A and B are shown apart, each in its own frame.
Chain A
Amino acid sequence: MPLNVVILGGTKGIGRALARRLAARGDRVHLLGRDVEDLARCAADLQARMPTPSPVTFSVCDLERPETFAPAVSAAATELGGFDTFVVTAGLFATQPQLEADRAFTLRLLTVNFAHTILLCEHVRSYLLARSGGTLCVFSSVAGDRGRKPVILYGATKAGLTAYLEGLDHKFRAAGLRTICVKPGFVRTGMTEGLPEPPFAADPDQVATTVVRAIDRGTPVVYAPPIWALVMLVIRWLPRAAMRKVGF
Chain B
Amino acid sequence: MPGVQVRSENLEAITVDVPLTRGLGRAYGDAALPAPGDTRIAGSALADRILQFNPETGDMTAEAGLSLDELYRAFLPKGWFTPVTPGTRFVTLGGMVAADVHGKNHHVDGCFGRHVSAVRLRVADGRVLTCSRTEHAELFFATMGGMGLTGHILEVSFRLARVPSPWIYQEARRVPDIDTFLAALKESAAAWPMTMGWIDCLSKGSSMGRGVLFRGRWAERHEAPADFPALNAPIPVPFMFPDGLLNVHTASAFNALIYHQPQARAGVVHPRSFFYPLDVAADWHRGYGPRGFTQYQCVLPASGGHAAVRRFLEVVTGAGGASFLCVIKDCGPEGEGLLSFPRPGISIALDLAMGDDTQALIDRMNESVIAEGGRIYLAKDALTRPDHFRAMEPRLDRFLDIRRTWDPEGRIRSAQSVRLFGW
- Listed in ascending order, the chain A residues whose CB lies under 8 Å from chain B are 11-13, 16, 20, 24, 41-42, 44-45, 47-49, 51, 53, 189-190, 193-194
Contact = CB atoms under 8 A, between A and B. Distances in A.
A50 to B, nearest CB: 10
Contacts of A12: 9
Nearest to A49: B74
A44 B53 CA distance: 8
B78 A51 contact: yes
A56 to B, nearest CB: 12
Interface in B36-54: 46, 49-53
Contacts of B4: 194
A11 B63 CA distance: 14
B8 interface: yes
A48 B53 contact: yes
Contacts of B46: 189-190
B53 A194 contact: no
B59 to A, nearest CB: 11
5 contacts: A12-B9, A24-B74, A41-B49, A44-B50, A45-B50
A31 to B, nearest CB: 12
B51 A41 contact: yes
Nearest to A12: B9
A92 B52 CA distance: 30
A40 to B, nearest CB: 9
A20 B55 CA distance: 18
Interface residues of B, number: 15
Q: Count chain A CB atoms within 10 A of each CB in B49, B50, B52 and give the residue with the most.
A: B49
Interface of B: 4, 6-9, 46, 49-53, 55, 60, 74, 78
Given A42-B49, A49-B74, 19 more contacts: A20-B74, A24-B74, A41-B49, A41-B51, A44-B50, A44-B52, A45-B49, A45-B50, A45-B51, A47-B53, A48-B50, A48-B53, A48-B74, A51-B78, A53-B55, A190-B7, A193-B7, A193-B8, A194-B4
Given A193-B6, A193-B8, A49 B50 contact: yes
Contacts of A11: 9
A44 B51 contact: yes
A20 B49 CA distance: 10
Nearest to B66: A45
Nearest to B52: A44
Nearest to A51: B78
Nearest to A45: B49
Contacts of B49: 41-42, 44-45
Given A41-B49, A44-B50, A190 B55 contact: no
Contacts of A16: 9
Contacts of B51: 41, 44-45
A200 B80 CA distance: 34
B40 to A, nearest CB: 11
Given A24-B74, A190-B46, A53 B7 contact: no
Contacts of A20: 74
A11 B74 CA distance: 18
A160 to B, nearest CB: 28
Contact of B6 (A41, A47, A51, A194): A194
Contacts of A24: 74
Nearest to A16: B9
Nearest to B50: A48
A51 B53 CA distance: 13
A11 to B, nearest CB: 7
A53 B9 contact: no
Contacts of B50: 44-45, 48-49
B243 to A, nearest CB: 27
A185 B9 CA distance: 20
Contacts of B55: 53
Contacts of B74: 20, 24, 48-49
Top 9 A-B residue pairs of the complex, sorted by shortest distance between their CB atoms? A48-B53, A45-B49, A48-B50, A45-B50, A49-B74, A12-B9, A190-B8, A44-B51, A193-B7
A61 B312 CA distance: 64
A48 B52 CA distance: 7
B79 to A, nearest CB: 12
A54 to B, nearest CB: 11
A53 B6 contact: no
A42 B50 CA distance: 8
Contacts of B52: 44, 48
Nearest to B55: A53
A24 B7 CA distance: 25
A12 B53 CA distance: 20
Contacts of B6: 193-194
A53 B8 contact: no
B305 to A, nearest CB: 47
Contacts of A44: 49-52
A44 B52 CA distance: 6
B128 to A, nearest CB: 14
Contacts of A42: 49
A53 B60 CA distance: 14
Nearest to A53: B55
B53 A190 contact: no
Contacts of B53: 47-48, 53
A77 B310 CA distance: 70
A165 to B, nearest CB: 27
B66 to A, nearest CB: 9
B392 to A, nearest CB: 39
A47 B51 CA distance: 9
Q: Count chain B CB atoms within 10 A of each CB in A24, A48, A49 and give the residue with the most.
A: A48
A96 B46 CA distance: 25
Nearest to B4: A194
